[in-house]
Amino acid sequence: MSPKKRIDKDTVVRTAATLMEEGGADALSLTRLAGKLGIQTPSLYNHIDGLGGLQRELTLMSARNLADRMEQAAIGRSGNQAILAIAQAYREYIKSVPALYQNSLRASGNRAQKDPELEALEERTVRVVLVVVESFGLRGDDAIHAVRGLRSLIHGFASLEVAGGFGMPLDCDESFRRLLEIYIRGLVDSTPPAGGQTH
């Protein structure tokens, strides 16, 4: 008789993420997840609070992994090199788990009430970019707009890549690099002069 498989919350959530990547967000159900784990569906409730609780755990995992990657990419870098490294880490994360990423975006945007744990993780991703953007001299609303711009740039480019939206025989890495260089030039041009007024 084979030993009983040990199941914990981390195993449940990671298996759910795998199912999502294999078949998309719509493929995830408690019944299918229980089957993948080799347990009865009611046993899942020992680890998660139903499908809604599972979605929250998946969103937390995605936000945590993205924040970890971006922070790691920023270590030892500043200015242009930090922007390039952070953006590449973000892009590669989206490409590595596209279904989980998109599902987490929807879940985060649709939450009906505050979730301090999730908000703290999202703040980490904002902070790592904000610190770099502020090194270009941008502050306040200008810095936040720049953070939003970089996030939109990366999200759009990587989402098109995942969807097969770049059909021409040109190197996507080169396109991404050039796009980031344009963005960086925009940051430099937006830097307030010594007098403190933007142009």
Q: What is the mean pLDDT of residues 126-138?
A: 95
Predicted local confidence at residue 194, as pLDDT: 58
Read off the pLDDT of each residue in 160-167 and give the average, rounded to a whole number: 94
CATH architecture for the domain at 1-48:
Orthogonal Bundle (1.10)
Query: What was the pLDDT predicted at 46?
Result: 93
pLDDT for residue 24: 83
> What is the per-residue pLDDT for 11?
95
What pLDDT score was predicted for residue 54?
A: 94
Q: Is 116 exposed, middle or buried (0-12, 13-18, 19+ CB in 10 A)?
A: exposed
What value does the mean pLDDT take over residues 149-164?
96
50-76 tens-digit pLDDT: 999 999 999 999 999 999 999 999 999
DSSP structural state of residue 48: S
In the three-class reduction of DSSP (H, G, I as helix; E, B as strand; rest coil), residue 194 is classed as: coil
Name which of 58, 61, 65, 8 is nearest 28 in CA terms: 58
Q: Which of 122, 56, 73, 66 is nearest to 93 (CA)?
A: 66
On the question of pLDDT at 2 being above 70, the answer is no
Q: Is 196 exposed, middle or buried (0-12, 13-18, 19+ CB in 10 A)?
A: exposed
Backbone dihedral angles phi then psi of residue 105, each to the nearest 5 degrees: -60, -45
Q: Is the pLDDT of residue 198 over 50?
A: no
Residue range 177-185: average pLDDT?
96
Place of tokens 């770049």: 166
The pLDDT-based confidence of 6 (bands split at 50, 70, 90) is confident
The rounded Cα 138 to chain-centroid distance in angstroms is 24
| Exposed / middle / buried, residue 7 (Cβ in 10 Å: 0-12, 13-18, 19+) | middle
Residue 193: the pLDDT is 67
**How large is the average pLDDT for residues 140-153?**
96
pTM of the model: 0.88
196: pLDDT strictly greater than 60: no
Delimit the domains of the chain by residue range.
1-48, 59-190
The domain made up of 59-190 has a fold known as Tetracycline Repressor; domain 2 (1.10.357)
Region 87-109: mean pLDDT is: 91
pLDDT of residue 112: 67
Report the C-alpha dihedral over residues 14, 20, 25, 31, rounded to 10 degrees: -80
